[in-house]
Structure 1
Amino acid sequence: MSLKPTVSNTDHVQGNLEADLVIVEYGDYQCPYCGAAYPILKDLMSHFQNQVRFVFRNFPLSEIHQYAKPAALAAEAANLQGKFWEMHDAIYENQQNLDENFLLELAEKLELDVSKFKTDINSKALEEKVEGDFESGILSGVNGTPSFYVNGKKFNGGAEDLFQMVTENAG
């Protein structure tokens, strides 16, 4: 399966924006497998940040993860204040504490404007952004989290496999 839509300026991107190697993760902030993949992906980006453009898209599995969607909305609300990746990382690094109160605590720790944050997490625009990411995942053939795409094609493997593939290609 291929990635639909392709990576655009509406996506959350880190690393080298001009890199030929583009990795997209569809993730759920409460998913234990995404939580396990997170440190591997952080490691990958610290080693290969000049060679990789890394994109994160929301894919909250709300039926099984009660706080996945609130966490996705919190990350999107932090994005409006220029702190998407800080919130993304803080959620994964404290995944076991995840609930609505904890998301507010993170907003305070990241020195966000908390009243704006509270308004934004309930906004229709952010709801639509998270739903749009989720729908793009469905169109792209995502059937679980994390799901990875490399240069627009579904990658059949986990974060460790991804790290190994990047290492081999960087050689």
Structure 2
Amino acid sequence: MAVLSRDVGPQDHVKGPADAPVTLVEYGDFECPYCGETVGVIDGVQRLMGDRLRYVFRHFPLVEPHPFALHAAGLAEAAAEVGRFWEAHRILYDNQHALDDRALRSYGRRLGLGQDAVEAALGGRYAARIELDFQSGIASGVNATPTLFINGVRHDGRRDLRGLHAALLAAAENGN
């Protein structure tokens, strides 16, 4: 049974209350088509669970098959510095087909980021922050995206709305 190597903390990107009975952690890659499919599922379980769910996103860019994933993660981190991580998260997943640097610059403008901030992000300013997530994923047994953890335990079950919702409800009821 794989478990999270690092607890959720202030460095994480979090939606939902800290005292929610269930925490869902996703290790994701903005260029991964399976992660793109999972976005809608996670939106759905967030609506169904409400305040009973805390959702955490961590970066796990798979740069070999996804050459634009690392720069996309950098742009998301630049957006996080101005309180717009989740908006960047949505833009990047909605536009997975266009994540080259030119497109990322456009999304940066849409997010209200200055040119210097975007260029710094594309130049690796947030590489250490992204690597922290990536290494915690490796230590947690992550080897593909998306990888989900429910209350610290890797979820290897169904990732469709019905299956994930059932697993989250079970965790809420069992307290684990």
TM-score normalised by L of structure 1: 0.92
* Percent identity of paired positions between Structure 1 and Structure 2: 37
SS in 2 for 1:65: coil
Q: CA deviation at 1:109?
A: 1.2
In the alignment, what sits opposite 1:99? Answer: 100
SS in 1 for 2:51: coil
Query: 1: distance between equivalents of 2:54 and 2:61?
Result: 22
The residue type paired with residue 140 of structure 1 is S
The residue type paired with residue 146 of structure 2 is P
What are the Cα deviations for residues 74-124 of structure 1, in whole angstroms up to 9, with x where unaligned? Answer: 101111111111001110011112211111111111222232232244244
Q: CA deviation at 1:168?
A: 5.6
Query: 2: distance between equivalents of 1:67 and 1:157?
Result: 29
The residue type paired with residue 155 of structure 2 is F
Alignment of 1:76-115 (within 5 A): 76-115=77-116
Q: Alignment length, in residue pairs? A: 170
TM-score normalised by L of structure 2: 0.89
Q: CA deviation at 1:9?
A: 0.9
Alignment of 1:5-84 (within 5 A): 5-84=6-85
The residue type paired with residue 16 of structure 2 is G
The residue type paired with residue 139 of structure 1 is A
CA contact (8 A) 1:76 1:121 kept: no
Query: 2: distance between equivalents of 1:18 and 1:144?
Result: 29
Residue ranges of structure 2 left out of the alignment (5+ in a row): none
CA RMSD of aligned residues (A): 1.7
User: Which 4+ runs in 1 deviate beyond 4 A?
Assistant: 167-171
CA contact (8 A) 1:4 1:140 kept: yes
The residue type paired with residue 154 of structure 1 is R
Query: 2: distance between equivalents of 1:164 and 1:67?
Result: 34
2:167 aligns with one of 154, 159, 165: 165
Query: 2: distance between equivalents of 1:130 and 1:54?
Result: 18
SS in 2 for 1:46: helix
Query: 2: distance between equivalents of 1:120 and 1:60?
Result: 15
Residue ranges of structure 1 left out of the alignment (5+ in a row): none
In the alignment, what sits opposite 1:130? Answer: 130
In the alignment, what sits opposite 1:141? Answer: 141
Query: 1: distance between equivalents of 2:44 and 2:114?
Result: 30
Query: 2: distance between equivalents of 1:157 and 1:122?
Result: 37
The residue type paired with residue 60 of structure 2 is F
